[in-house]
Structure 1
Amino acid sequence: RLQINDQESLFKMQESMKNEALSGFAFTRIMAGFSGTYYSNSQEDICLNQKNAFGRDFIISSKMSSIKWQLSKEQKTIKGFKVYKATGFETIKNNSGEHEISIIAWYTPEINLAFGPVNYVNLPGLILELKRNRNTYTVDSIEEKEVIEIEKPSKGKQVTQAEFEEIGAKVMKNLGSN
């Protein structure tokens, strides 16, 4: 579920979020690939991913503007909204090295909020569909509420993505030497 107010968004990968008091954009997860809670704040230009990894809680921080989007005139309709295609790339590190992966986002300027699922943000409208490798998220429903209170994640050691990858590499190295 993606919850949004004017400056913040919160995306949680929980199948069981059926709380009537919560408002937002419900996404259908076609394939998994992300974990934890994702927070974005446009005023602070920050994205946070709170998750448990390597037996510890972490808050991984990055900038909202980290992906440079290429906007396209290609369009289609999702849930009655005209959406436009944007493509971007990001570099990920894993055991086999660095890889550049493509991201395709379909956003609607009709909902003038620069947020989307996970921490894919910073387009001129709400992202209603997102494809990253074999993972696809598509908006399932949209609900509007008067006031949405969003709580910034605070549980865990705050690290950058590079620091988190370094911790992961050390853990994997230690596992390999046992």
Structure 2
Amino acid sequence: MNQFYKYIAIVCLIVTTSTYNYAQQDFQGKAYYQTKTTMDLDNLGGREMSEQQKKQITERMKTMLEKTYVLTFSQTESIYKEEEKLEAPGSGRGFGMMGSFIGGAQYKNIKDKQMLQEQEFFGKQFLVVDELKDLDWELSGETKQIGQYLCFKATAVKKVDEFDWTSMRRGGRDNDNNKEDKEAKETGVETAKDSTKTESATKDFMDDIEIPKEIIVTAWYTPQVPVNNGPGEYWGLPGLILEINADKTTMLCSKIIMNPSDKDEIKKPSKGKEVTREEYNTITKQKIEEMREMNGGRGGGGRGR
């Protein structure tokens, strides 16, 4: 027990010293995150899409599902944005309507509880202004090492935005396809495939999707970097969040640089028409409905203007 208390005292001393050092000056840090979102592409399009078509879509989406982001942070502010790099022609960013859900730089102000998100949607630039929402974190004594940092586990239940593409999943359409397959096996007669459906299946990726209302989020944070910030919209823990597991998405910190010689200015984004999250979602709904009408009632995921 004496060794245990000695260990706790050492950890508290490190954290206290770190906090003191960071508070003495206008410090800045950079954390690099590797992000990956898994999607069930095996059932994409059901029986209407060939294996070759699925393979092509998988390759095109790879760059959208696996990215590197940089969180530049101070004690109270941060900017989270994708690491700049050249993209290959035909990469996932331009993948129809799905690509339209990819945002730009995200600004967080912990003190003012404000979040600003740059968002381009079908050629129009928006600046989404939102309140930095609290998560009811449940702290755990469970620990693990991430690089040189001792991390502690925390979990929370998070409400999912209705246009959060990272939690999108196939809905009832697959059940209909499975029903057709079952009937074909029982009768011995396979229903002929509609060639028009095969063509449109590639384009209408957004058809028949579902988004859960809530997900469980698991975070790993380190008090060794005493800022209550983290990747994306995540924050509110007594230490920098180094790993997030949220439904189908994983964010893992691969490198931290404290007080870099060349500091970046952390400033609020200002590009685009300023809208609230509710207003932006309304605009998105209207655009999706417009695309459906233009394409005979289908989602029109591949025909962005």
Whether the TM-score (by the shorter chain) exceeds 0.5 is yes
Larger mean CA deviation between 88-97 and 102-111 belongs to 88-97
Matched residue, 1:60: 128
1:96: Cα distance to partner? 3.8
Distance 1:167 1:144 in 2: 40
Distance 2:271 2:278 in 1: 19
Residue of structure 2 aligned with 1:155, choices 255, 262, 271? 271
CA distance 1:153–1:109, change in 2 (3 Å):
same
1:97: Cα distance to partner? 6.0
Q: Are the equivalent residues in 1 in contact too, given 2:221–2:241 (CA < 8 A)?
A: yes
1:61: Cα distance to partner? 2.4
Q: Are the equivalent residues in 1 in contact too, given 2:134–2:236 (CA < 8 A)?
A: no
Residue of structure 2 aligned with 1:35, choices 103, 106, 111? 103
Distance 1:68 1:158 in 2: 29
Distance 2:278 2:74 in 1: 29
CA distance 1:34–1:100, change in 2 (3 Å):
farther
CA distance 1:109–1:60, change in 2 (3 Å):
same
Matched residue, 1:3: 72
Q: Are the equivalent residues in 2 in contact too, given 1:5–1:148 (CA < 8 A)?
A: no
Matched residue, 1:29: none
**Alignment RMSD:** 2.2
Q: TM-score, normalised by structure 1?
A: 0.81
Q: Are the equivalent residues in 2 in contact too, given 1:4–1:148 (CA < 8 A)?
A: no
Higher helix fraction: Structure 1 or Structure 2?
2
Cα deviation, 1:44-69, whole Å, max 9, x if unaligned, reads 11111112113211122222233222
CA distance 1:77–1:98, change in 2 (3 Å):
closer
CA distance 1:113–1:148, change in 2 (3 Å):
farther
Tell which structure's C-alpha radius of gyration is larger: 2
Larger mean CA deviation between 108-117 and 48-57 belongs to 48-57
Higher strand fraction: Structure 1 or Structure 2?
1
Q: TM-score, normalised by structure 2?
A: 0.49
Q: Mapping of 1:10-25 within 5 angstroms?
A: 10-16=79-85
Residue of structure 1 aligned with 2:150, choices 78, 82, 92? 82
Matched residue, 2:175: none
Q: Are the equivalent residues in 2 in contact too, given 1:92–1:101 (CA < 8 A)?
A: no
Distance 2:141 2:226 in 1: 17
SS in 2 for 1:143: strand
Q: Are the equivalent residues in 2 in contact too, given 1:64–1:122 (CA < 8 A)?
A: no
Cα deviation, 1:109-164, whole Å, max 9, x if unaligned, reads 12111111112112111000112222111111111226552021110122222221
1:93: Cα distance to partner? 1.1
